[in-house]
Structure 1
């Protein structure tokens, strides 16, 4: 399929919308976006950077939607953003030097734990029990922001799930946990994207063709999430996490 052909553009537009719809709430858009870019014929060395461009547009849009609804705790996340940025840049630079394949078994285990924990805590995330930002929560948050930011820049799959889980553990309900997660995800995305651009690893044409419909998907997805709350986010969170587990197992078995 030639670049710019109607078929290629259709693949990227449809997949971009679906990726944005999912990624805007619980992450995991790369499950759709990366295979779509590969199917469209993108050169492999431009794959991650171009997907990061599309993902950054999506995370910016969903962050703006959650911000407008007031479903972000800025007193906490404003402290965490710099550490997410530092982590993401460090991870993006590291992945150029060290293969990320060794992380797959660990990611599978962590995603399984998250899924089981969420399934058994049925009312978890329905009501906020967060007591406010304290020295302890900020310290935990800094470690989480840097660690998951590094992971996002270095490897990526499951970043949204890990961030939401971390905020749920702090006591936030699902909607605010998703809003907080999108802020940090946007911070790590844009800093990682800038690093990819500096390294010459981004195709703007591929990234924008998929990124623009991702913006539309992000608007739709975040609005549904804000309106329906945990009844929508919880099953979507579990579904995407289970799919991520399956994909990581498949990739590990066939690598």
Structure 2
């Protein structure tokens, strides 16, 4: 695919914003993937290239968590395996779906995402812990299911993982945070590998956007604490509305 300056002018600022939002409140993928599609990339190239740029940020975040000892690797191991399998399946399924159908599916996903952003409640408390074996089995199943979602589409993966690991697997918030990073990195890199093998990644755009993502993430961590930016949800909604209108106009004009 031929790149133009306009691709960079649209994608890089929005991916920077996505990194900033991710550091402040999470959910940056809800901005970064639409950025590529608003710029006019075909669906599969948008997802594959987004995996490259977002994977750069996820790798650094996971490395930081691991260095600080926040990832319980013994409990994370089975989750990583099932996440790898799920993400590979999801990415392969996405590649089988034509742009025509993918865009129509997106018109269903976007309103659901907007409803989640509007009415979804953040994690509010820890539940009584399960026995370790039961917790690991539930976590592995969650990693597999969310792995399929991340390989297929992806935005919101980290948030969904954290909510499900704490709410369904009854994992402590601190441990869930670390394991979420490990699972998210696994699903991201696995899906990226599938898209790479199928020639659906634009390296130059993805690498430059990845640098912008890291810069946005860095600035976000310096400027706000996790609850300090009330503008984040409205900002996400604006991007989602633009994305929805653009996708709808493309379908109607097809």
The bucket for the TM-score relative to the shorter chain is 0.7 to 0.9
CA-to-partner distance for each residue in 1:200-224, whole Å, 9 max, x for gaps? 1111011111011212333444677
Q: Aligned pair 1:138/2:136, yes or no?
A: yes
Match of 1:209 in 2: 208
Q: Is the 8 A contact 1:163 1:181 kept in 2?
A: yes
CA displacement at 1:111 relative to structure 2 = 8.0
Gaps of 5+ in 1: none
Match of 2:195 in 1: 196
Mapping for residues 58-137 of structure 1, pairs under 5 Å: 58-98=57-97, 99=101, 101-102=104-105, 105=108, 116=119, 118=121, 124-125=124-125, 131=129, 134-137=132-135
Match of 2:20 in 1: 21
Q: Aligned pair 1:178/2:165, yes or no?
A: no
Q: Is the 8 A contact 1:111 1:158 kept in 2?
A: no
Match of 2:145 in 1: 147
Match of 1:54 in 2: 53
CA displacement at 1:154 relative to structure 2 = 1.4
Match of 1:161 in 2: 159
Gaps of 5+ in 2: none
Cα 1:86–1:21 shift into 2, 3 Å: same
Count residues in correspondence.
242
CA-to-partner distance for each residue in 1:112-145, whole Å, 9 max, x for gaps? 57975636x7xx14xx567476111111111100
Q: Give the whole-Å Cα distance in 2 for the aligned partners of 1:112 and 1:130.
A: 29
TM-score w.r.t. length of structure 1: 0.74
Indicate the RMSD between aligned Cα atoms, in angstroms.
3.9
SS in 1 for 2:93: helix
Q: Is the 8 A contact 2:24 2:228 kept in 1?
A: no
CA displacement at 1:97 relative to structure 2 = 2.2
TM-score w.r.t. length of structure 2: 0.74
Q: Give the whole-Å Cα distance in 2 for the aligned partners of 1:111 and 1:15.
A: 18
CA displacement at 1:163 relative to structure 2 = 0.7
Larger mean Cα displacement after TM superposition, 62-71 or 136-145: 62-71
